[in-house]
Chains A and B, each alone.
Chain A
Amino acid sequence: MTLGGWTQAVVFFAILVAITPLLGAYMARVYTGEQVLLARVFGGFERTIYRGIRVDSRKAQDWKAYAASVLLFSLAGWLLLYLILRTQTVHPFNPEGFHSAPWNVTFNTVTSFLTNTNWQYYSGETTMTYFSQMAGLTVQNFVSAAVGICVAVALIRGIVGRSGKGLGNFWQDLVRTVLYVLLPISVIAALVFVSQGVIQTLGHYLSFTGPTGLSGHIAMGPVASQEAIKNLGTNGGGFFNTNAAHPFENPTGLTNVLEPLLMLAIPAALTATYGRMVGSRRQGWALFAAMTVMFAVGFSVLYAAEVHGSPAQHAAGLHTVATHGSLGGNLEGKEVRFGTGGSALFDTTATATSTGAVDSSFDSLTGLGGAVPMANLGTGEVIFGGVGSGLYVMLLYALIAVFIGGLMVGRTPELLGKKIEAREIKLATLGILITPLTALAATAIAIADHAGRVSIFNTGPQGFSETFYAYLSQANNNGSAFAGYTGFIQPNAGSVGSHGITFADLLGSFNLAFARYAPILFVLAVAGSLAGKRVSPAGLGTMRTDNPTFVVLLLGVILLVGALTFFPALILGPIVQALTGHLY
């Protein structure tokens, strides 16, 4: 590990701490209906949209109506995206003449982008038309992120609500999220990316002849516009197959920290938004602190493991110690401009948040290094997590922590003055456990059935790791992969003669949808249940939820649930590999 690698990480995190309260305060104003500067510019357009889609944006919805709107909006998005991806041969902006992928691959891709996951069995530059990337995938990058944020805001409203059952209006939250948060930041980020070298063109792929006379082709596309929202919305689906390892997606050391900053911006800011909306900023910082502890541990372990190098390298005789001018470490599947430090920072962020973008190959991480992304996913994506989903799952954990704390001191558990009763705890427990249950059940099925084994690339424990990671990632709506695992055999560019692996495609799709929408329903039900409750004033015996004691309690609950659930699976894969130098 180098001083440079650590300096980079510290500067990076300092910037995050600085922007969190600013963006958090801004978002609190957007969702409490205060006038923001952009509303003066786009207010007219906002009202035109409400008229166009025929909704009364001032009408508050109870939790059931809010949930129905979320589900119907997602269903409409699913159908439209499926239609777009199935009709590639008639698309405009298709300079390479691509056909559509097989139906089962499309089914997985559509479900994946709807659920803010962006798990990719396809390879962007050999499968997708520019039109699919823009009008199909980019749109879901925006709106699936917006849905997550809306649900988190609805939960906050439920926690603070003092009268009635209303959680706000989904359509208003959706439009405001897009117009006042996601789109303006994306426009700026996209242009900054282009200034650094990310491409943005609708032209043909390039053909060149190099100095030695060999010719080659270079895939092109409108990358920057998608790259911006891909990170900001914690989506993570790469324009190209190798995602942010591709120099056209992530050209410099600077973009390699700007992208993780975008990933963390909204999930971190939402803790501050929460603090502001509940009237105590310390509440938000307590959640931020718990997330930071887990983030720091993950980064340190991943960085150290990759600097040490892999058994395969050492067996081949490579010296992995960094020397002057040489990066050292495990550089299999890593780029020189990022090195082990930049890659560890990017990969920790992309799996702590539910982004799932990668700037290096996860399948080639060391055993211990690969355990970090798995552990990050295993927390249920609460280390900042996805936009919105990170906060709402973290708040479910907070309910459990308050409940356990209440049992320990023998008082009725309360969160911000509202009594937490059996109904809320049941819903919160279900909301938390449904994701690991889905992931583990799917992994077991995929390992037990020969139809699941055809997707595996590596032999030995790594084959298990690939399978486990695939379903863990899809269930947690992350989308990163041990990318040897496949659901799409594509012998030629343009999907000619290709076929999908139906088992992996459909099991993954079920996983994606169930582990996204079931928790959303439980969260909204908790919000509805809390919304109507009376607030009792805080007394001497009230357990505080904004001090270090609570942060430790919260971390303990997360660790307990995660460790008990996933430890056996982690032992079978990455831990075996970390403990042995044996090659498979």
Chain B
Amino acid sequence: MDIRRNTIAAALSMIVMTVVLGIAYPLAITGISQVTFPGNANGQQVHRAGRLVGSKLIGQNFGTAVLEKNGKPKEVKGAVVTEPDPRYFQTRPSATEGGADNAASSTFSNLGPNSIKAEEGDAERIKEYLALNKPYDPTLTVAGIPVDAINTSASGFDPEISVANADVQAHRIAAVRRLSFSRVTELIAKYTSDRSLGVFGESGVNVLELNLALARMSGGR
């Protein structure tokens, strides 16, 4: 057992491994990806009129800033307070800090299954969901609210909502945007992804794509 030789080998091999696995490998993958899949490698960015409006994979907050009496945006803990914009489909609840759907800092709510805070949060969001959607869909009851509309997502910016959640919101969208209900549900179907290869995962509706398609139909807003 030659400790000195082994020590030299250990130090040198870490340097070799760092160069091969830590520099050459990731840079090679970056180079190949940027050439073969530039859209994916850069996060499936969505541009409108030359400006970045988001990423297809990153859910965002389709709300508007709540204004104080002096006309400035209201803030709590440095995050702008928002309310849902009824013209747009709303994404899932988010537990990220610095405002909902903060894709610079992903986080879970981490609230346990028997947590009072989890129960209170759910109850509060049930109230908000009913207030937003029941005026346009009088048949909506608590029992009919899809779970994904109330529970916070894992990433904090789930890009998708369930078809049931989209269907509930379709009543509101159709009324506010003066579109026929069937026109809106057709659009939902268009942006609903099936399970991968028909087997893996669950189907869901991409909210950013759906909202942008809606905005295009009504002249950009």
A310: B residues at CB distance < 8 A: 113-114, 118
8 Å CB interface, B153-193 against A: 153-165, 167, 193
Checking B104, B114, B165 against A584 with a beta-carbon cut-off of 8 angstroms, the contacting residue is B114
Tell me, yes or no, whether A301 is within 8 Å of chain B by CB.
Answer: no
A186: B residues at CB distance < 8 A: 25
Contact B155 A247 (CB under 8 A): yes
Checking B20, B57, B106, B152 against A125 with a beta-carbon cut-off of 8 angstroms, the contacting residue is B106
Report the separation of the CA atoms of residues A252 and B44 in the bound assembly, to the nearest whole angstrom: 13
Contact B119 A583 (CB under 8 A): yes
Checking A254, A327, A341, A583 against B115 with a beta-carbon cut-off of 8 angstroms, the contacting residue is A583
B159: A residues at CB distance < 8 A: 247
Contact A68 B1 (CB under 8 A): yes
**Hey, what's the 0/1 contact readout for A451-471 against B, CB within 8 Å counting as 1?**
000000111111001000000
Checking A134, A252, A326 against B26 with a beta-carbon cut-off of 8 angstroms, the contacting residue is A134
Tell me, yes or no, whether A364 is within 8 Å of chain B by CB.
Answer: yes
Contact A363 B112 (CB under 8 A): yes
CB closest residue in chain A, given B19: A135
Checking A72, A183, A220, A457 against B7 with a beta-carbon cut-off of 8 angstroms, the contacting residue is A72
Report the separation of the CA atoms of residues A54 and B16 in the bound assembly, to the nearest whole angstrom: 12
Contact B29 A209 (CB under 8 A): no
With A72-B10, A77-B14, A200-B33 known to touch, is A222 a contact of B57 (CB < 8 Å)? no
Tell me, yes or no, whether B135 is within 8 Å of chain A by CB.
Answer: no
With A196-B40, A213-B64, A331-B148 known to touch, is A171 a contact of B154 (CB < 8 Å)? no
Contact B6 A493 (CB under 8 A): no
Contact B200 A8 (CB under 8 A): yes
Report the separation of the CA atoms of residues A485 and B124 in the bound assembly, to the nearest whole angstrom: 25
Tell me, yes or no, whether A95 is within 8 Å of chain B by CB.
Answer: no
B162 to chain A, nearest CB (A): 5
Contact A210 B60 (CB under 8 A): yes
**Hey, what's the 0/1 contact readout for A211-249 against B, CB within 8 Å counting as 1?**
111101111101011100000000000001110011110
B179 to chain A, nearest CB (A): 16
With A139-B17, A139-B18, A216-B103 known to touch, is A335 a contact of B110 (CB < 8 Å)? no
Contact A326 B53 (CB under 8 A): no
**Hey, what's the 0/1 contact readout for A311-349 against B, CB within 8 Å counting as 1?**
111011111100111111111111111110110000000
Contact A254 B197 (CB under 8 A): yes
A323: B residues at CB distance < 8 A: 164
**Hey, what's the 0/1 contact readout for B36-49 against A, CB within 8 Å counting as 1?**
11001111110010
**Consensus secondary structure, chain B interface:** mixed
B200: A residues at CB distance < 8 A: 8, 11, 252-254, 256-257, 342
Contact B162 A4 (CB under 8 A): no
8 Å CB interface, A122-175 against B: 123, 125-126, 134-136, 138-139, 142-143, 171, 174-175
8 Å CB interface, A188-221 against B: 190-191, 194-203, 205-214, 216-220
B153: A residues at CB distance < 8 A: 245, 331, 333-336
Contact B106 A190 (CB under 8 A): no
Tell me, yes or no, whether A441 is within 8 Å of chain B by CB.
Answer: no
A424: B residues at CB distance < 8 A: none
B155 to chain A, nearest CB (A): 5
CB closest residue in chain B, given A485: B110
**Hey, what's the 0/1 contact readout for A390-411 against B, CB within 8 Å counting as 1?**
0000000000000000000000
8 Å CB interface, A466-483 against B: 482-483
Contact B30 A201 (CB under 8 A): yes
Chain B contributes a number of interface residues (CB within 8 A of A) equal to: 117
A333: B residues at CB distance < 8 A: 108-110, 151-154
B37: A residues at CB distance < 8 A: 194-195
CB closest residue in chain A, given B163: A325
Contact B29 A256 (CB under 8 A): no
Contact B10 A69 (CB under 8 A): yes
With A198-B40, A212-B88, A360-B154 known to touch, is A139 a contact of B148 (CB < 8 Å)? no
Checking B2, B25, B57, B109 against A332 with a beta-carbon cut-off of 8 angstroms, the contacting residue is B109
B42: A residues at CB distance < 8 A: 199, 201, 203, 220
Contact A342 B201 (CB under 8 A): yes
A505: B residues at CB distance < 8 A: none
Report the separation of the CA atoms of residues A462 and B111 in the bound assembly, to the nearest whole angstrom: 9
Report the separation of the CA atoms of residues A342 and B200 in the bound assembly, to the nearest whole angstrom: 8
Contact B119 A208 (CB under 8 A): no
B199: A residues at CB distance < 8 A: 4, 7-8, 11
Report the separation of the CA atoms of residues A503 and B164 in the bound assembly, to the nearest whole angstrom: 47
8 Å CB interface, A1-22 against B: 4, 7-8, 11
**Hey, what's the 0/1 contact readout for B105-143 against A, CB within 8 Å counting as 1?**
111111111111011101100100000000000000011
B217: A residues at CB distance < 8 A: none
With A53-B9, A363-B110 known to touch, is A187 a contact of B80 (CB < 8 Å)? no
Tell me, yes or no, whether A580 is within 8 Å of chain B by CB.
Answer: yes
CB closest residue in chain A, given B105: A126
A233 to chain B, nearest CB (A): 11
Contact A336 B162 (CB under 8 A): yes
**Hey, what's the 0/1 contact readout for B20-31 against A, CB within 8 Å counting as 1?**
111101111110
**Hey, what's the 0/1 contact readout for B55-78 against A, CB within 8 Å counting as 1?**
101101111110000000000000
With A214-B63, A245-B108, A254-B200 known to touch, is A187 a contact of B21 (CB < 8 Å)? no
Contact A224 B33 (CB under 8 A): yes
Enumerate 13 A-B pairs (CB-CB under 8 Å) in ascending A order. A54-B5, A69-B6, A76-B10, A135-B23, A138-B26, A187-B25, A200-B33, A224-B33, A245-B153, A326-B162, A330-B147, A458-B115, A460-B112
Question: B interface vs A, CB < 8 Å?
Answer: 1-3, 5-18, 20-23, 25-30, 32-34, 36-37, 40-45, 48, 51-55, 57-58, 60-65, 80, 82, 85, 88, 92, 99, 101-116, 118-120, 122-123, 126, 142-148, 150-165, 167, 193, 195-197, 199-202, 204, 211-212, 215, 221
6 further interface pairs, Cβ-Cβ under 8 Å (given A49-B16, A194-B29, A245-B106): A55-B9, A178-B17, A178-B20, A197-B40, A216-B60, A313-B122
Question: A interface vs B, CB < 8 Å?
Answer: 4, 7-8, 11, 49, 52-55, 62, 64-65, 68-69, 72-73, 75-77, 80, 123, 125-126, 134-136, 138-139, 142-143, 171, 174-175, 178, 183, 186-187, 190-191, 194-203, 205-214, 216-220, 222, 224-226, 240-242, 245-248, 251-254, 256-257, 309-313, 315-320, 323-339, 341-342, 359-361, 363-367, 369-370, 457-462, 465, 482-484, 493, 577, 580-584
The 5 closest A-B pairs by CB, nearest first: A253-B201, A462-B112, A245-B154, A316-B122, A135-B22
